[in-house]
Amino acid sequence: MRALNKLLLGAAVAIGGVGALGSHQAFARTVIYADIEPPALRVETVPEGRPGYVWVNGYWGWGGHEYAWHKGHWVRERHGYHWVPSRWEREGNRWRYYDGRWDR
């Protein structure tokens, strides 16, 4: 019974810690590599501006065996930040994907 109480107490502490992390907006990013060079970016016609929104250009996503195009879209702007677009960069003999993000 004592071991069960310790286990339950440990689980409660762990769950409480997860909630605290969420309030600080901690994010884990997945690193994506591809052995094939991504295709050239597609030319997209950017729709007329929307107040309070920023246009995020489309990009090539890697599905494990081939690239798939993800269309551009609007995202709500964040005051004091600017959008850094996603990109692929060569690392040795493969390509690494960097997700788009907000930056100050």
- The domain segmentation of the chain, as residue ranges, is 2-103
Cβ burial, residue 82 (10 Å; 0-12/13-18/19+): exposed
Where b means 16+ CB within 10 Å and e means fewer, 17-32 reads eeeeeeeeeeeeeeee
Looking at residue 9, its pLDDT comes to 41
CB atoms within 10 A of CB 63: 9
Q: What is the pTM of this model?
A: 0.68
* One pLDDT digit (tens) per residue for the chain, 104 residues: 454 444 444 444 444 444 444 445 666 678 999 999 999 999 999 999 889 999 999 999 999 999 999 999 999 999 999 999 999 999 999 999 999 999 99
Residue with tokens 């960097």: 98
Residue 40: C-alpha distances to residues 30, 87, 96 (Å): 23, 11, 15
